[in-house]
Amino acid sequence: MRKRKLGFSVIIVITIISMFGCFLDLHISAAANEYKFDFGGGAVEPGYIGVSASMAYDKSRGYGFNTPWNMKNVSASGSGLTSDAVQFLTYGTKSDNTFNVDLSNGLYEVKVTLGNTSRASVAAEGVYQIINMTGNCATDKFQIPITDGQLNILVTEGKEGTPFTLSALEIKKISDIPVTNRTIYIGGDSTVCNYYPLDSSAQAGWGQMLHKFVDTNTFQIRNMASSANLQEVFEMTVNLKR
């Protein structure tokens, strides 16, 4: 009887270990599609991966700056996660001075938190994703399909002559299918554009409020309106179409 019980117990243990192994594999696989980065030379927030300006992209690591010699660690006026940042010294939607992250193909939500800046935009895959984020530690997010196994992102104009900084980046896979929800693009002037912080600004353009009246499970809203002059709006629109 003891032998039978022992054998039965061994089978149970082996089964549990096998099941746990399956769960572990799933967890590891999921982790590869979700990242939280804390940029700058200061302390790293719990749950985030610290990234200094000098960290070059490494294939075995799966992330890093394409040209780290064009990056600089800077301080920021926030606290904790937003107490430091990195500054992009070269920029533009066609710049190769990007932060690269290896990802499996699919659809991702990317949350961006800037450091200190007066007006900056975010480009990914060579296209503007968010334009004219204003104020220190501004936060916004966007959806992007990945079809080549890597996200390439940078902070750029904005406003020429001002610093373009990045304090934190959160990346989360939301679908294995690399197709965004149907998209409503908005263009316009200061009566339409976003004002930051998005959830507590004293003023807001109507484009900033449209998500309250749209089913965001079906549509994503991309507010590309700008309070910049008409020439800047034209240049951003041209870059968006490329």
Q: 147-198, pLDDT tens digit by residue?
A: 999 999 999 999 888 999 999 999 999 999 999 889 999 999 999 989 998 8
Q: Contact 57/69 with Cβ under 8 angstroms?
A: no
Query: Each residue of 52-66: pLDDT tens digit?
Result: 999 999 999 999 999
Which residue type occupies 197?
Answer: P
| Burial of 153 per CB tally in 10 Å (0-12, 13-18, 19+) | buried
- Give backbone dihedrals phi and psi of 84, rounded to 5 degrees, phi first: -150, 170
Quick one: the chain helix, strand, coil %, rounded to 5?
25, 35, 40
Q: What is the pLDDT of residue 31?
A: 37
The alpha-carbon radius of gyration of the chain (Å, integer) is: 22
Dist CA 7 CA 43 (whole Å): 52
Number of helices and strands (H, E) in the chain? Answer: 3, 15
Residue 80 above 90 pLDDT?
Answer: yes
Closest by alpha carbon to 124, among 168, 162, 154, 165?
154
Which of the four pLDDT bands, split at 50, 70 and 90, describes residue 211? confident
pTM over 0.85: no
Closest by alpha carbon to 164, among 203, 123, 224, 222?
123
CA atoms lying within 13 Å on the CB side of residue 131: 28
CATH, domain 33-241, list 3.30.470.20, 3.30.565.60, 3.30.70.2610, 2.60.120.430: 2.60.120.430
Closest by alpha carbon to 168, among 157, 159, 180, 155?
155
Closest by alpha carbon to 146, among 106, 98, 101?
106
Query: Each residue of 1-42: pLDDT tens digit?
Result: 444 443 433 333 333 333 434 333 333 333 368 999 999 999
